[in-house]
């Protein structure tokens, strides 16, 4: 039976809200398939505003892959702003997709991609607007299966009550497999109802279904055990890894937004994974091993993406894009191809020790020289050893001096505050480093027209990293250090005006820390915050630290216990039954190495140091060089 669009009810509300264009759909390369021609239907959600969600690569890739499948349909939905939420409740308009404006509750699956834990309350808003019970145990056979994915799904325990399932790792292949399980179950007449479908998904070991696992606790609150509560369910659920990225050259037809978004460019992921071993970086740990796209596939994706979208900027994405083994050839080939056109190239993620001027010149050949961004992360040499960010002060000064001497005038430096073992002196070292950068630029150019922006975020210990046992620095200490750093920069008459300073206070980091390392008991806090009006917690103008603390107190959750407390080696962590491939003992030894300020090399270029991923996942590091050239060689 066809499902009716709700647009005729929504349209009357749009003149009353800000940015109504974000709700109308119809973007170039969007897809609206016939409802009755599909027997498996996905609603894909990024739990934030359209302007943040539309550029998300994960959702865009799954949207294309699923819509390419026969008899499968995928549409997108995003979080609605509070002004439209209020009107939707008043006029009984349900959560809708932007493609067909179909009610989300009519779909078989609601797949939610979490880049950050601060989107949890937005998911609850969407569920409630859709008419889907918030608690998974209360859902019936007519409700969609709610599946969480993305980096935050590597510890889905805080939202275990609200989701039916979670998927760890790469989504390309598992989304197809899930579709086939649902198709088969529906074709058989839905035997056993919702419970049987979830059991079929769980039995494979590739989908985590929280209801099939019981958690028991020690009297002091620590977890005693997480164990399956029925036969056939695996003790550990493993992440998914796509090994041949060339087989998955998505997105092929990038969505072109109607409203302004945070990134307006065509993005090509040139490799996946990172083995640099930065101890704070969850993304680098959970996406191992390194798998590179070939130079020829990158070239074909760029050419096709520009043709299909009309974007005039191409971003070559990865966790550290300049680490691609053929990045020089990629840069030169693309610069040759698009020289003299209005197409510009960017490398959004660059390490200090992987950067070189030749590379930068290739990417700015069309005359567009935006500022350069580097991330030393720690303000002192000692701190960078702790976090395994093997960048020396000499490396940084040498790199920025070369950049300034080649015509760049603006450099942005990114750091973190609140790192394990950090002292006041480590943070004040950021000011000294920034001043040295300005001085080096002045000496290299003979000009005082040199700028450096220092940007600082609060550190949050994440699951599946060596710092998963670390105590988080409290918000008051972080804020005090940030203020001292601000004073050190502002009060310097020689350099102060040349240095910009941007920072986030320590309060959102504490809430993110509560959610990132929380267990199932934290779900009560999330629900209480949402019921109290919590929305868009990733936006400073909507975030309320006091609300989170008050709600945690109301439901009996000790925020400090989850955040600033250091864990012991043998403590059962909420995510220990979810396998990212990393050997737990290796992570613990790397945590001890951090405390002892010992560095670990990148295993791409050195012998294996036994993190566990390759043997555990049946994978291997895949890097070039291939010796191939970017084709065709003709200039556009």
- Name the percent of the chain lying above pLDDT 70: 98
**Which range has the worst mean pLDDT, 26-30, 150-154, 274-278, 370-374?**
370-374
Tell me the three state secondary structure of residue 377: strand
Q: Specify whether the CB–CB gap between 522 and 514 falls below 8 A.
A: yes
In this structure, CATH architecture of domain 6-230: 3-Layer(aba) Sandwich (3.40)
Q: Provide the 10 A C-beta neighbour count for residue 481.
A: 25
Alpha helix segments (H runs only) across 287-386 = 295-309, 327-338, 357-363, 381-386
Tell me the three state secondary structure of residue 270: coil
Between CA 357 and CA 14 the distance in angstroms is 49
Q: 617's torsion region: left (phi>0), alpha (psi -120 to 50) or beta?
A: alpha
| Residue 478 backbone phi and psi in degrees, to 5 | -60, -45
Between CA 99 and CA 365 the distance in angstroms is 38
Q: What is the pLDDT of residues 484-528, one digit of tens each?
A: 999 999 999 999 999 999 998 899 999 999 999 999 999 999 999
pTM of the full structure: 0.96
What DSSP designation does 44 have? E
- Judging by DSSP bridges, how do beta strands 313-317 and 40-46 pair with one another? unpaired
Q: Which pLDDT score, from 0 to 100, does residue 634 have?
A: 60
Two structure tokens written together for 533: 């009006």
Q: What is the pLDDT of residues 87-118, one digit of tens each?
A: 999 999 999 999 999 999 999 999 999 999 99
Q: 609's torsion region: left (phi>0), alpha (psi -120 to 50) or beta?
A: alpha
355 CB contacts (<8 Å, ≥6 apart)? Answer: 322, 372, 374, 399
Sheet holding 313-317, edge to edge: 266-269, 313-317, 344-346
Two structure tokens written together for 358: 């030749």
Between CA 295 and CA 175 the distance in angstroms is 27
Tell me the three state secondary structure of residue 263: coil
> Which H helix or E strand runs over 561?
helix 559-563
| Residue 358 backbone phi and psi in degrees, to 5 | -60, -45
Two structure tokens written together for 283: 């993304």
Two structure tokens written together for 462: 């994440």
Q: How far apart are the first and last CA of the chain?
A: 48
Between CA 200 and CA 471 the distance in angstroms is 39
Q: Which residues does residue 256 pair with via DSSP β-bridges, in sequence order?
A: 28
Between CA 459 and CA 249 the distance in angstroms is 34
Residue 318, classified by CB atoms within 10 Å of its CB into exposed (0-12), middle (13-18) or buried (19+), is: buried
Mean pLDDT of 68-77: 98
Give the pLDDT band (50/70/90) at residue 390: confident
Mean pLDDT of 444-448: 91
Q: Specify whether the CB–CB gap between 167 and 147 falls below 8 A.
A: yes
Of 190, 145, 189, nearest in space to 164 by CA = 145
Q: Where are the domains of the chain?
A: 6-230, 265-370+601-635
Residue written as token pair 């071993």: 277
Show the beta-strand stretches assigned E in 71-206.
72-78, 109-113, 145-149, 165-166
Q: Specify whether the CB–CB gap between 595 and 420 falls below 8 A.
A: yes
Q: What is the Rg, in whole angstroms, of the alpha carbon atoms belonging to the chain?
A: 25
Mean pLDDT of 554-559: 98
Give the pLDDT band (50/70/90) at residue 1: low
Length of the chain: 636
Between CA 341 and CA 310 the distance in angstroms is 12
> Which H helix or E strand runs over 500?
strand 499-503
Q: Using the CB atoms, write b or e for 457-468: b if 16+ within 10 Å.
A: bbbbbbbbbbbb
CATH 3.30.750.210 is the classification of domain 265-370+601-635 = yes
The alpha carbon of 316 is separated from its chain's Cα centroid by a whole number of angstroms, namely 16
- Judging by DSSP bridges, how do beta strands 291-292 and 313-317 pair with one another? unpaired
Q: Specify whether the CB–CB gap between 239 and 272 falls below 8 A.
A: no
Q: Which pLDDT score, from 0 to 100, does residue 347 have?
A: 81
Give me the chain's average pLDDT, please: 94
Two structure tokens written together for 501: 């300073």
Q: What is the pLDDT of residues 181-239, one digit of tens each?
A: 999 999 999 999 999 999 999 998 889 999 999 999 999 999 999 999 999 999 999 99
Residue 533, classified by CB atoms within 10 Å of its CB into exposed (0-12), middle (13-18) or buried (19+), is: exposed
> Which H helix or E strand runs over 490?
helix 475-490
Q: Specify whether the CB–CB gap between 415 and 378 falls below 8 A.
A: yes
Q: Which residues does residue 355 pair with via DSSP β-bridges, in sequence order?
A: none
């Amino acid at each position: 039976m066809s499902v009716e669009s709700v647009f005729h009810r929504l349209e009357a509300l749009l003149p009353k809200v800000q940015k109504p264009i974000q709700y109308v759909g119809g973007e170039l390369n969007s897809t609206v398939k016939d409802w009755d021609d599909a027997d498996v239907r996905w609603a894909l959600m990024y739990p934030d505003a359209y302007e943040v969600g539309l550029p998300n690569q994960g959702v865009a890739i799954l949207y294309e892959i699923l819509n390419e499948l026969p008899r499968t349909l995928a549409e997108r939905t995003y979080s609605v702003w509070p002004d439209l939420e209020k009107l939707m409740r008043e006029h009984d308009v349900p959560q809708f997709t932007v493609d067909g404006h179909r009610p989300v509750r009519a779909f078989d699956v609601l797949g939610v991609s979490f880049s950050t834990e601060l989107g949890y309350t937005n998911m609850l808003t969407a569920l409630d607007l859709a008419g889907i019970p918030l608690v998974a145990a209360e859902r019936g056979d007519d409700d969609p299966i709610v599946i969480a994915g993305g980096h935050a799904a590597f510890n889905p325990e805080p939202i275990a009550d609200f989701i039916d399932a979670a998927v760890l790792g790469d989504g390309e292949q598992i989304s197809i497999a899930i579709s086939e399980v649902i198709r088969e179950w529906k074709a058989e007449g839905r035997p056993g109802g919702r419970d049987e479908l979830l059991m079929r998904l769980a039995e494979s070991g590739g989908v985590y279904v929280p209801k099939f696992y019981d958690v028991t606790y020690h009297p002091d609150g620590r977890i005693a055990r997480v164990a399956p509560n029925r036969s056939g369910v695996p003790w550990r659920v493993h992440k998914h890894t796509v090994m041949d990225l060339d087989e998955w050259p998505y997105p092929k037809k990038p969505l072109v937004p109607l409203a302004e978004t945070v990134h307006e460019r065509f993005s090509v992921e040139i490799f996946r994974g990172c083995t640099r071993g930065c101890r704070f970086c969850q993304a680098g740990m959970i996406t191992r091993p390194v798998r590179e796209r070939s130079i020829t596939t990158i070239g074909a994706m760029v050419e096709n993406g520009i043709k299909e979208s009309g974007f005039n900027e191409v971003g070559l994405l990865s966790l550290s894009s300049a680490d691609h083994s053929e990045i020089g050839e990629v840069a030169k080939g693309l610069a040759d191809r698009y020289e003299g056109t209005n197409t510009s190239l960017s490398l959004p993620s660059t390490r200090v020790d992987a950067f070189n001027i030749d590379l930068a010149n290739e990417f700015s050949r069309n005359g567009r020289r935006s500022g350069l961004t580097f991330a030393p992360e720690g303000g002192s040499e000692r701190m960078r050893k702790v976090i395994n960010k093997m960048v020396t002060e000499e490396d940084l000064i040498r790199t920025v001096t070369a950049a300034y001497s080649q015509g760049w005038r603006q450099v942005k430096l990114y750091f973190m505050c609140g790192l394990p073992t950090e002292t006041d002196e480590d943070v004040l070292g950021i000011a000294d480093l920034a001043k040295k950068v300005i001085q080096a630029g002045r000496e290299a150019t003979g000009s005082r027209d040199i700028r450096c922006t220092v940007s600082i975020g609060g550190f949050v210990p994440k699951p599946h990293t060596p710092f998963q046992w670390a105590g988080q620095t409290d918000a008051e200490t972080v804020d005090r250090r940030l203020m001292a750093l601000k004073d050190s920069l502002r009060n310097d008459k020689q350099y102060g005006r040349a240095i910009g300073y941007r920072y986030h206070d320590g309060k959102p980091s504490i809430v993110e820390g509560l959610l990132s390392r929380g267990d199932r008991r934290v779900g009560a806090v999330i629900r209480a915050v949402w019921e109290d009006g919590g929305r868009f917690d990733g936006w400073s103008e909507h975030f309320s630290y006091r609300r989170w603390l008050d709600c945690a107190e109301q439901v009996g959750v000790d925020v400090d216990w989850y955040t600033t407390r250091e864990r012991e080696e043998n403590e059962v962590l909420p995510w220990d039954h979810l396998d990212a491939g990393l050997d737990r003992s290796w992570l613990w030894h790397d945590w001890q190495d951090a405390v002892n300020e010992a560095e670990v090399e990148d295993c791409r270029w050195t012998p294996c140091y036994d993190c566990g991923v390759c043997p555990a996942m049946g994978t291997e590091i895949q890097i070039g060089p291939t010796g191939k050239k970017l084709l065709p060689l003709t200039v556009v």
